Amino acid sequence: MAKQKCPECEECLPAWLAAFGDLMSLLLCFFVLLLSMSSMDAKKISEAIGSLSGAMSVLEGGTKTEISKQRIQESTPIESQDETSEAVNRVQQAVGDANEMMEQGHGPAISLDEAQEGFVIELPASLLFKPGSATIENEDALLFLKRVALIIEELPRTMQVSVQGHTDNQGPGAKSPFKDNWELSSARAISVLQELLLDGVDPKRISASGYAEFKAIATNATASGREKNRRVELHFYGAKGDEEAKVKESVLDKASAK
């Protein structure tokens, strides 16, 4: 029995061409999906077409439009921060390092808070002084004050520092050399001020004051509340210029003019 000859196969497309066609179909579906999910901003499209038309003159009938200043500001990255912001970041880093070094997990730690005209560093009295004392004996606290002094010198010259001492409503104690909380809070503020002066802070930019127990931030009814109230605060604020001071006429000036 004679073998039948296999019929010749019909010519078809090469295999690679079929795979290429499938790929193009998938890409087309992908871009169609992107277009369907995108939101068109007519203003941005108009600005882009106008910019191309004005810059390269390749689009016929295009209208040259100016990009708004607001969009320029939004698209321009901020390359550097001002000096004050950088100083605040350095203070925040110093606060974190000091808290880790002193390992104050069980009590109040050094904190950094924003204020109306600057920022405030809050130093718990237990990190600086012994009860009823105004002498700084903690070496880690002294190192932290040295770092703060270096940062103060890098701040703008208009930035002032106010050192404020606070106590709880308990007295200094019988063994304390201070007769009341006014003397104790003032002495502690002056001790911190003198340490900053020794570290190179300009005396014209710093001041000290004591408020005793009359600016409490927590209740004095509990031991933890009294511990929070015993603190020294470093207030950083911008000094008002001479021109602004001249504009404000005092009550005495008004009285003398009459």
CATH of the domain at 101: 3.30.1330.60
Q: Are residues 51 and 164 in the same domain?
A: no
Task: Round to whole Å and give the CA distance between 88 and 68.
Answer: 33
Q: Are residues 178 and 100 in the same domain?
A: yes
Render the burial of 5-42: b for 16+ CB within 10 Å, e for the rest.
eeeeeeeeeeeeeeeeeeeeeeeeeeeeeeeeeeeeee
Residues of the chain with pLDDT under 70: 1-13, 39-84, 103-107, 240-258
What residue has token string 């710093």? 206
Q: Are residues 147 and 94 in the same domain?
A: yes
47 is a domain residue: yes
Q: Are residues 128 and 229 in the same domain?
A: yes
Q: Are residues 184 and 136 in the same domain?
A: yes
Task: Round to whole Å and give the CA distance between 102 and 137.
Answer: 13
> What is the predicted pLDDT for the residue at 52?
64
Q: How many domains does the chain have?
A: 2
Rounded to two decimals, what is the model's pTM?
Answer: 0.61
> What is the predicted pLDDT for the residue at 234?
95
> What is the predicted pLDDT for the residue at 64?
46
> What is the predicted pLDDT for the residue at 2?
59
> What is the predicted pLDDT for the residue at 217?
93
89 is a domain residue: yes
2 is a domain residue: no
Q: Point out the domain boundary residue: 50, 77, 104.
A: 77
Q: Are residues 92 and 197 in the same domain?
A: yes
> What is the predicted pLDDT for the residue at 43?
63
Domain range for 62: 41-77
Q: Are residues 165 and 54 in the same domain?
A: no
> What is the predicted pLDDT for the residue at 62?
46
Task: Round to whole Å and give the CA distance between 171 and 174.
Answer: 8
Cα atoms in the 13 Å half-sphere on the side-chain side of 149: 18
Q: Which two tokens stand for residue 92?
A: 């925040």
Q: Are residues 66 and 100 in the same domain?
A: no
Q: Are residues 73 and 87 in the same domain?
A: no
Q: Are residues 93 and 54 in the same domain?
A: no
Q: Point out the domain boundary residue: 77, 99, 133.
A: 77
21 is a domain residue: no
201 is a domain residue: yes
Three-state DSSP state, 247: helix
Contact status, residue 220 vs residue 172, Cβ threshold 8 Å: no
Q: Are residues 112 and 196 in the same domain?
A: yes
Q: Point out the domain boundary residue: 30, 54, 77.
A: 77
> What is the predicted pLDDT for the residue at 22?
85
Q: Of all helices (H) and strands (E), which one includes residue 225?
A: helix 223-229
Contact status, residue 110 vs residue 122, Cβ threshold 8 Å: yes
Q: Are residues 112 and 167 in the same domain?
A: yes
Q: Of all helices (H) and strands (E), which one includes residue 53?
A: helix 42-56
